[in-house]
Structure 1
Amino acid sequence: MSDRFVGKYYNSIDQKNRIIVPSKHRELLKGKCFVAKGLDKCLNIYTVERWEAQMEKLDSLPQSDKRIRAFIRSLSGNAVECNIDSQGRIVITDELMEYAGITKELVTIGSNKVIEVWDRNLFTEVNENAYSEEEIAEALTGLY
């Protein structure tokens, strides 16, 4: 089994701010995860191991830089550790829901090392205004 998250899933959030983690993704999360702000007004779900690795990388950055401290503060200060319940759900805090503009309908995207959780309308809007295939190919020059 791969240790990468892939696929796109549509679901919704319930009245108790719970979302269902797709079953294929649950296998990699092993019952626990971290949820934090993503960079594109989405939420990122991390495995515990990936979260710890991310925090280690951030620890290695120069703490004398105010921008780095602000980023670390924003990321870790708003992150939550979640246990996945018996029905495959996690609870999203009001603060994280507000940040991502989540109202009801969601898109959950496997994005390599993290799972992205998007408000469905925002996801559609962002993708309609996304970069062209040529712009993406230019950014990836040398990788393929």
Structure 2
Amino acid sequence: MFAGTYQHTLDGKNRIVIPAKHRAVIPDAENNRGFYISIWQQGGTRCLSIFTKAAWKELMDRLESQATHDAAADDYLTLISASAEFVEADPGWRIVVPEALIQTAQLGREVVLVGRKGQILVMNPSDWTKFQETLSRAYPDVYRSVMQVRRETQSG
């Protein structure tokens, strides 16, 4: 599971480095340098998401299962699949972020990488700051809601 927040700069070839702490949680990392990168939405903000092959397959399987009876899931599956690119990390663990995805997510040279379960979000720093501020204000309500669901799940 990916975790942590890292400031990065896209280099002149639109490459970012997969952080060492993220590489450390990839099973058999030296033989698993391939990633899917796709458009994503987090906190109402368009960003990118980097998935390991295993996490991408899990997401696709889950969405395909939902899409059979949910038109919105089918549309979402189409959107992220159409934008997805498979990229391979070089020996320095740099991946090239396709220009079209950079433009779609409105990223500049400075980006924030956010580990989130099986994915790494790539966000504009100002969008990440806004997301954190919004979540900080809503934290008490979010916490109560999550704990309520947890209690219901445990008692059910």
> Into which bin does the TM-score normalised by the smaller protein fall?
0.7 to 0.9
2:128 to 110, 117, 123: 123
Number of corresponding residues:
141
Q: Unaligned regions of 5+ residues in structure 2, if any?
A: 152-156
Q: Please say if 1:136 is aligned against 2:138.
A: no
Deviation beyond 3 Å, 4+ runs, structure 1? 62-66
Distance 1:139 1:14 in 2: 41
Structure of larger gyration radius = 2
1:81 Cα offset (Å): 0.8
For structure 1, list consecutive stretches of 5 or more residues without a partner in the other structure.
Answer: none
CA RMSD after TM alignment: 1.8
Residue identity (%): 26
Report deviation, 1:67: 2.4
- TM-score with structure 1 setting the length: 0.87
* Structural mapping, 1:95-106, within 5 Å: 95-106=100-111
- Counterpart in 1 of 2:8? 11
2:3 and 2:114 in contact (8 A); partners too? yes
- The TM-score normalised by the length of structure 2 is 0.81
- 1:72-93 residue CA offsets vs partner (Å, 9 max, x unmatched): 1111010111100111111111
The structure richer in helix per residue is 2
- Of 51, 76, 79, the residue aligned with 1:46 is 51
Structure 1 CA distance, aligned partners of 2:128 and 2:106? 10
Deviates further, 106-115 or 21-30: 21-30
Q: 1:113 aligns with which of 118, 133, 141?
A: 118
CA distance in 2, matches of 1:124, 1:141: 25
Question: What is the alpha-carbon distance in structure 1 between the residues aligned to residue 67 and residue 122 of structure 2?
Answer: 30
Deviation at 1:64, TM superposition (A): 6.0
How far is the alpha carbon of 1:102 from its aligned partner?
0.8
Contact 2:67–2:77 (Cα < 8 Å) also in 1:
no
Q: Deviation digits for residues 2-48 of structure 1, max 9, x if unmatched?
A: xx111111111012111111012124152111111222212111110
